[in-house]
Chain A
């Protein structure tokens, strides 16, 4: 079952093609990440999904159908450019946003109190929004986004401006949403968060899909022809080894293999070799950051084909 299905959607602003024939699906109950450099079309895609913008062509189904008031009530959205009303109390502000999503005033208030306590803002509940620090406002905004217990939560840059402690808190809450079977879509360019949190991902560049699928699969797809090893012995003496570098950060040696030699072959050879004692072996999967730089940095036509190991 899909929470969002985007099929062949295009959108132009004047001469600029912001989104170009984009198709992807977000499955119910997953954390889905949208990645891409600035101006890649992430925000435009989200805005089209939410009916803030209309696509020039293509079809979007959200929570099982075309968008409507009832469906909007089941979505929680935290835009990148976000704020709260400044001159009312945090509690009033959240309660108001809840009633705009169709909650009764009493339910909205009760739920706001519960959530504000959860994000550690119980003391600030009756303070005016304008007196809150930026980090506190961010947490209040997150609380507002999930106030009406939405089936689909869409967050643009969820962790920007948050300190590590609060990042952890929001992360936990996002996991909780997924564990309840609800869906989270986050748009970000913080790769390590995606690696850690997302089940599946979409990378867009200049309005087009460049990478799409399970995060694990994407990393494996870009796996270099190299392994990280620790132990005793001369790795270079093994067959098929092109060169050996030491990676200080990983506290391991990176062994790059020549074309035609698999990592399994290397492992077998190393295990059989009498003078080599292997204490650690790991296939060198590139970080998403490496892939991102490779894909986004490369010209559009080469993206996705030019893959090469990138050691350090």
Chain B
């Protein structure tokens, strides 16, 4: 087995056992499912619940409800108020409505109950009355009166049609995608950085360097923690999938946004390259900083950079192909999040996606190369920050020339 696989395996297993991973991988989706169930329950209780009232009586003195079309199954007609009242006091029914003789001119309905009447029952009554009022009309006209405006929105480049229900999804999808992307990349990268900083803090690194090369260590960590990140994404995707399957509305909503079928493939590419870029960048930060804490503050700033396209959402929504979104989706440090937002908002010319991927790959390669230099120099400087001047010196002179601070760190620690 290649040594970097040994490192990768160790990193993966160690992180899997950590509570932080369990938290993000499991608690987050559980919250998602929980929230979904909660919202569904609340919605149900608000609009559909007919309560525990049981049978609902009604007395029609106006003649509107003749011949009682589309009568809800819990509804039962009573001849007059007295029989209905008797039934209510006897507990046969939970409530009853009276449509007075002058209902047609006043629209007034009286309700009688011993408890309160849930909103869902009133809704049922309205639908019931509406169906009977429209019975004499032409069916088409009746349908229009029930539902006068079915709004369909078309986005600006005319590529996608969205009806009222999915307009929200159209706005939410890019945000959700960008968030999952940005968070996944920056979180995995910061795991990587911590793991590198830990090598320095625990003073394991000098020992490691007599077993493996710095580059093997870097690759091992990138591979191991990258796998961890993918695993995490997979867990999120599966829970997300379950939620959408469980909730047909949400599923239909997502389907109606009309995302291209090749999106998952391209998204995976952006995810991997984005992680390679940020991962090796933060690994370099971890190797060159004095302590894990110090590295943490730098990583915070870099995470903001990765998530910055979300702050430019307004301009993205206004014109997904405008200059700012275009620039952001080409610049390697923002392109993974920015491009995924653009693709989910509208049509992106293929050459732009291709160019952005090439730039991202080139950027990632450059940063990996730089990180390898930094690794060689920065790792051994335990408890010290790598100075930029030292790095430049090393790059000029070649990797074999390790610089001053190394010896300083030894003597400074004393014996």
Interface residue ranges, A against B (CB under 8 Å): 13-14, 16, 18, 38-39, 43-44, 47, 50-54, 72-73, 75, 77-88, 96-97, 99-101, 144, 157, 160, 189
Which of B101-109, B159-167, B339-347, B407-415 interfaces with chain A? Answer: B407-415
**Contact partner, A84, options B202, B212, B380, B404, Cβ 8 Å:** B202
Distance to closest chain B CB from A128 (angstroms): 11
Contact between A100 and B415 (Cβ–Cβ < 8 Å)?
A: no
Q: Does B69 make an interface contact (CB < 8 A)?
A: no
Complex A-B, nearest 3 residue pairs according to Cβ-Cβ distance, in ascending order: A83-B203, A83-B202, A100-B211
Contact between A85 and B198 (Cβ–Cβ < 8 Å)?
A: yes
Distance to closest chain A CB from B2 (angstroms): 11
Which of B6-14, B234-242, B274-282, B313-321 interfaces with chain A? Answer: B6-14
Contact between B204 and A100 (Cβ–Cβ < 8 Å)?
A: no
Q: Does B233 make an interface contact (CB < 8 A)?
A: no
Q: Does B406 make an interface contact (CB < 8 A)?
A: yes
Smallest CB gap from A47: residue in B: B206
CA distance A224 to B207 in the complex (A): 42
Q: Residues of B contacting A82 with CB < 8 Å?
A: 203, 206-207
Contact between A189 and B415 (Cβ–Cβ < 8 Å)?
A: yes
Q: Specify the main secondary structure of chain B where it touches its partner.
A: loop
Q: Residues of B contacting A54 with CB < 8 Å?
A: 400-402
Given the known interface contacts A78-B207, A81-B203, A100-B208, the answer about A52 and B380 at a Cβ–Cβ threshold of 8 Å is: yes
Contact between B210 and A50 (Cβ–Cβ < 8 Å)?
A: yes
CA distance A83 to B406 in the complex (A): 18
Distance to closest chain B CB from A133 (angstroms): 16
Q: Residues of A contacting B18 with CB < 8 Å?
A: 87
Given the known interface contacts A83-B204, A88-B14, the answer about A157 and B415 at a Cβ–Cβ threshold of 8 Å is: yes
**Contact partner, B211, options A13, A18, A44, A97, Cβ 8 Å:** A97
Distance to closest chain A CB from B13 (angstroms): 8
Contact between A97 and B407 (Cβ–Cβ < 8 Å)?
A: no
Mark contacts of B337-374 with chain A using CB atoms, 8 A cut-off: 1 yes-contact digit, 0 otherwise.
00000000000000000000000000000000000000
Q: Does B403 make an interface contact (CB < 8 A)?
A: yes
Given the known interface contacts A78-B207, A85-B198, the answer about A100 and B413 at a Cβ–Cβ threshold of 8 Å is: no
Given the known interface contacts A50-B210, A100-B208, the answer about A38 and B411 at a Cβ–Cβ threshold of 8 Å is: yes
Across chains A and B, the number of contacting residue pairs, with CB separation under 8 Å, is 85
Given the known interface contacts A72-B210, A79-B206, A81-B206, the answer about A38 and B415 at a Cβ–Cβ threshold of 8 Å is: yes
Interface residue ranges, B against A (CB under 8 Å): 1, 3, 6-7, 10, 14, 17-18, 198, 201-204, 206-212, 380, 382, 400-404, 406-407, 410-411, 413-415
Contact between A18 and B407 (Cβ–Cβ < 8 Å)?
A: yes
CA distance A100 to B2 in the complex (A): 9
Smallest CB gap from B401: residue in A: A54
Q: Residues of B contacting A51 with CB < 8 Å?
A: 210
Contact between B203 and A79 (Cβ–Cβ < 8 Å)?
A: yes
Distance to closest chain A CB from B389 (angstroms): 12
Given the known interface contacts A50-B210, A52-B206, the answer about A81 and B14 at a Cβ–Cβ threshold of 8 Å is: no
Distance to closest chain B CB from A156 (angstroms): 9
Smallest CB gap from B408: residue in A: A13
Q: What are 15 pairs between A and B in contact, CB < 8 Å?
A: A16-B404, A39-B411, A43-B410, A52-B380, A80-B413, A81-B203, A81-B382, A82-B206, A83-B203, A85-B204, A96-B10, A97-B207, A99-B10, A100-B212, A144-B207
Contact between B202 and A86 (Cβ–Cβ < 8 Å)?
A: yes
**Contact partner, B14, options A18, A52, A87, A99, Cβ 8 Å:** A87
Q: Residues of B contacting A85 with CB < 8 Å?
A: 14, 198, 202, 204
Contact between B204 and A13 (Cβ–Cβ < 8 Å)?
A: no
Distance to closest chain A CB from B191 (angstroms): 13
Choose among B198, B201, B210 the residue with the greatest number of A CB atoms under 10 Å from its CB. Answer: B210
CA distance A153 to B141 in the complex (A): 94
Q: Residues of A contacting B407 with CB < 8 Å?
A: 13, 16, 18, 44
Contact between A100 and B6 (Cβ–Cβ < 8 Å)?
A: yes
Q: Residues of B contacting A80 with CB < 8 Å?
A: 410, 413, 415
CA distance A14 to B405 in the complex (A): 10
Contact between A72 and B211 (Cβ–Cβ < 8 Å)?
A: yes
CA distance A83 to B404 in the complex (A): 23
Q: Residues of B contacting A72 with CB < 8 Å?
A: 210-211
Contact between B404 and A99 (Cβ–Cβ < 8 Å)?
A: no
Q: Residues of B contacting A81 with CB < 8 Å?
A: 203, 206, 382, 410, 413
**Contact partner, B207, options A14, A77, A88, Cβ 8 Å:** A77
Smallest CB gap from B414: residue in A: A38
Given the known interface contacts A38-B414, A100-B7, the answer about A52 and B210 at a Cβ–Cβ threshold of 8 Å is: yes
Distance to closest chain B CB from A15 (angstroms): 9
Smallest CB gap from A38: residue in B: B415
Contact between A77 and B6 (Cβ–Cβ < 8 Å)?
A: no
